[in-house]
């Protein structure tokens, strides 16, 4: 499973998602490159991409709470 967190420094919601991922021991890549995010259509952060599917808002929190098994 490939997880990418698109986020920015200074964003309290981004910081909360980052903390939740770490607390739940979910491995992820971090992307803070605004130019790259814009080029792939991301206009707001945070965005959590899981195996190519982008999650925003409450969907991020719901996905983390369902914490997938490592075998998934």
pLDDT at position 67: 74
Task: Give, in words, the CATH class of 3-65.
Answer: alpha beta
Tell me which residues of the chain have a pLDDT lower than 70.
68-72
Q: Where are the domains of the chain?
A: 3-65
pTM: 0.89
Give Cα 2 to chain centroid, integer Å. 11
Residue 48 to residue 30: CA distance in whole angstroms: 10
Give the tens place of pLDDT for each residue, 52-65.
999 999 999 999 99
């Amino acid at each position: 499973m490939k997880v990418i967190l698109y986020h920015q420094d200074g964003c309290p919601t981004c910081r909360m998602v980052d903390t939740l991922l770490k607390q739940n021991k979910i491995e992820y890549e971090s992307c803070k490159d605004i130019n790259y995010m814009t080029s792939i259509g991301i206009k707001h952060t945070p965005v959590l991409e899981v195996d190519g599917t982008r999650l925003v808002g409450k969907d991020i929190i719901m996905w983390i709470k369902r914490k997938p098994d490592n075998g998934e």
